[in-house]
Amino acid sequence: MLPTAIIVFREVLEAALIIGIVLAAARGVVKRGAWVSTGVIGGLVGAGLVALFADVISAAIAGSGQEVFNASILFFAVVMLGWHNVWMGRHGRELAQQMNAMGQAVKEGERPMHMLAVVVGIAVLREGSEVVLFLYGIATAQQDQSGQMLAGGALGLLSGAVVGLMMYFGLLRISSKYLFRVTSWLITLLAAGMAAQAAGFLVQADLLPAIVPTLWNTSAILSQDSIPGRLLQTLIGYTDRPAGIQVLFYVVTLVSIAWLMRVYGGIPARKTKTACVA
Amino acid sequence: MPNKRQRVEIVNSKYLGVIMAMFLATAAYPLQAKDLPTFNLSVKDGKFSPEKVEVPAGQKFKLVVKNEGPGTEEFESSDLNREKLIPPGQSAVIFIGPLKAGSYGFYGEFHPQTARGQIVAK
């Protein structure tokens, strides 16, 4: 039961952390729960489909279908996260300045929550499909009694959910003045990590050059197989032995989102200042 | 305010442009000749066979892992920075290296206690 729980926990962790961050980032948004639930349900349906067609996906593109599929959905999630951040960079300040609750609610309604819902869906789909395949595998192999297996799966799922909740409530402790800034950075790092992971998949499929196979090795300091390593892998994209191209994708994504947030998020403030001077 | 909305759209298209460029760069990378040295192993009942694979150091190679079942296995190695699901009955192709001389562990994530092996680069 415990081995099952640990494996399921490891898979669930990433999706749980992402949901925790998204929920905190969307604090105060009308129908936030509905959006996130839609993402989760969509992700679960997707996970079932991916698990069902796992052999088709794997066999596609000369055996590299899985890597291309993973890289594509990860890049898609990166775009959604970046887009959301840039949008928030533009409107977040106005929202914070507006004391009028009704005005705020209207504005918040315009917020691209569907992008965050898609990101949640993708996280659930990726991790969920692995859980389905794993549980299905042991169910057919009958290594474990099915009751034990279900208990292990439930324990793993629950533990993952607890970590996600801790992330969420931890973030809510941050003063609402800084919450947006913190969640924007978390989302930017999440996106950069996903881009690096996607690049790794394409290297594995020999569709991208590694540039340097292993740029550094910090496994002795913090192994990515450990729980802290795993947490950091999801949160900031930590990899103990990254390929050069992964670091490149990480930096380019980080700088691009930060730059776009600065350039487009800064416009309204600068404009007001210029207007005042004029 | 139409002005603001327009600007948001410009933001979106510009950002999409960056991502599209990344995709194009990926697509433009020529597919390498597939005549790389190939090494085969299989996994059955949660065990790899062979459990030790010798490969040349300093050279990229192809690892083909056949899953003889039952159930899906996930080839995982943080030493090699690789992970791949292998449905039962299928063979997964994983490109690795070039590696420095040394020993690199891998395991089957769905049978972490029994499915263990290593690649030794010489």
Q: What is the CATH number of the domain that holds A96?
A: 1.20.1250
Provide the 10 A C-beta neighbour count for residue A77.
Answer: 24
Q: At what angle do helices A146-172 and A2-25 cross, to 10 degrees?
A: 30
Q: Compute how many other C-beta atoms are within 10 angstroms of the C-beta atom of residue A21.
A: 26
- Calpha distance B9→B5 (Å, rounded): 6
Contact residues, B window 41-70, toward A, CB-based 8 Å cutoff: 45-46, 60, 70
Entry pTM: 0.84
Q: Is B21 a residue whose pLDDT tops 60?
A: yes
The residues that bridge with B107 in the sheet, in sequence order, are: B76, B116
| Chain B residues inside the 8 Å CB shell of A207 | 26, 29, 31
Tokens found for residue B122: 């010489």
Task: Note the pLDDT of residue A87.
Answer: 83
For residue A215, count other CB atoms closer than 10 A to its CB: 16
Q: Can you read off the two tokens belonging to residue A253?
A: 């994504």
pLDDT above 70: residue B1: no
Does residue A266 surpass a pLDDT of 70?
no
Q: Which domain holds residue A198?
A: 2-277
pLDDT range class, residue A157, cuts 50, 70, 90: very high
pLDDT score at A135: 87
Res A137: pLDDT: 81
Compute the average pLDDT of residues A5-15.
92
Q: Where are the beta strands (DSSP E) in B21-115?
A: 38-44, 47-49, 52-55, 61-67, 73-77, 82-86, 91-96, 102-108
Name residues whose C-beta falls within 8 Å of residue A113's C-beta, 6 or more positions apart in sequence: A26, A29, A31, A32, A35
B22 touches chain A (CB under 8 A): yes
- The count of domains in chain A is 1
Beta-strand pair B82-86/B73-77:
antiparallel
Q: CA separation (Å) from B30 to A69, A143, B33, B34?
A: 19, 44, 9, 11
Cα A35 to Cα A83: distance, rounded to the nearest angstrom: 17
The highest-confidence range among A90-94, A178-182, B108-112, by mean pLDDT, is: B108-112
Question: Which band of pLDDT confidence, cut at 50, 70 and 90, is reported for residue B22?
Answer: low
Contact status of B105 with chain A (Cβ, < 8 Å) = no
Give per-residue pLDDT as tens, B72-103: 999 999 999 999 999 999 999 999 989 999 99
**Minimal Cα distance from B30: which residue of A?**
A207
> Token digits for A93?
């300040």
Please check whether residue B24 touches A, CB under 8 A: no
How many interchain CB pairs under 8 A, A with B? 123
Edge-to-edge strand list for the sheet holding B102-108: B52-55, B116-121, B102-108, B73-77, B82-86
Tell me the average pLDDT of chain B. 83
